[in-house]
Amino acid sequence: MIYLGLAAIGLVVAVLVLTDGSDSVGGVVEPDTLANLAWTGGILALVVAGFWRQFRSAPGRHLQMLAAWVLIALALVLGYSYRDRIQGVSSRVLGDLRPGTAVPGAGGTVTVTRRADGTFRVDAEMNGRTQAFTFDTGASSVVLTAENAAALGLRPAASDFTARVSTANGIAFAAPVQLDALSVGTITERRVNAMVAKPGALSGNLLGQSFLSRLSGYEVRGDRLILSPP
């Protein structure tokens, strides 16, 4: 095998010398292309010869190694071919293990799994920070606790808490603010009106209608909350 490779390289070199700088060899192949083919073929011949020599010394072990590499290559091909389905399954598993995680779905939808206490906690990103919200269709607006708002740099004055906000727990006084952006998974809305509740008025953030009404729809299917993009 080695001798065949060297002979092929020698033959190509001889042909190139005889062509004396012609634009093509036999009117078919360019000299540069032929030289590259000869070089590649020679290297391949050396690799195959080395492998064949080792294979003859221990054929059983090398067949096992070859089968292992074939299986690895097959797994990579299948993984690449079905990467979208695999990603979807892994996202759903993550959503089940971590309720509140926004799992992207078909058509830009986002799915959130219900928590053990029966509520939907939604992890949302605001102004570059991630915070937890309770899905609340009864809330007329997105509402932040005073503590969570302060973490975003929103600190309304005491005189700003004049707005009445309807929540599932009743009426609360809050200060109006505007969020630069609010994202739930792949759904992002900009310049979202929100409220900052008085200190101690709420125990957690509420994902209310000032965000939900911008969506094309939202529904609950069993233990899944599905948000559809605008």
182, amino acid identity: L
Asked if 197 contacts 177 with a C-beta cutoff of 8 angstroms, the reply is no
In this predicted model, what pLDDT tens digit does every residue of 150-188 receive, in sequence order?
999 999 998 999 888 766 667 778 999 999 999 999 999
State the Cα–Cα distance between residues 201 and 173, nearest whole angstrom: 8
What band does 42 get if pLDDT is binned at 50, 70 and 90? Answer: low
Higher pLDDT, 80 or 226: 226
Report, as an integer, the average pLDDT of 76-90: 58
Tell me how far CA of residue 166 lies from CA of 174, 178, 206, 230, in angstroms. 10, 18, 11, 24
Look at 51 and 228; give whichever has higher pLDDT.
228
- The CA–CA distances, whole Å, from 65 to 31, 45, 48, 62, 153 equal 39, 20, 15, 5, 59
The CATH number fitting domain 87-228, selected from 3.40.50.2000, 3.40.50.300, 1.10.1750.10, 2.40.70.10? 2.40.70.10
pLDDT-wise least confident of 28-32, 54-58, 85-89, 104-108: 85-89
Which residue did the predictor score with more confidence, 94 or 68? 68
**pLDDT at res. 25:** 47
Q: How confident is the model at residue 212 (pLDDT cuts 50, 70, 90)?
A: very high
Mean pLDDT across the chain, nearest whole number? Answer: 76
**Do residues 178 and 188 touch, judged by C-beta distance below 8 A?**
no
Chain centroid to Cα 176, Å, comes to 34
Domain(s) of CATH 2.40.70.10: residues in the chain: 87-228
- Summarised one tens digit per residue, pLDDT across range 50-71 is 666 666 666 666 667 667 777 7
3-class state of residue 211 by DSSP: helix
Q: How far apart are the first and last CA of the chain?
A: 65
Edge-first strand listing for the sheet containing 224-228: 103-104, 110-113, 224-228, 217-221
Encoded amino acid at 68, one letter: A
Q: Which of 191, 159, 153, 190 is nearest to 175 (CA)?
A: 159
Task: Express each pLDDT in 179-193 by its tens digit.
Answer: 999 999 999 999 999
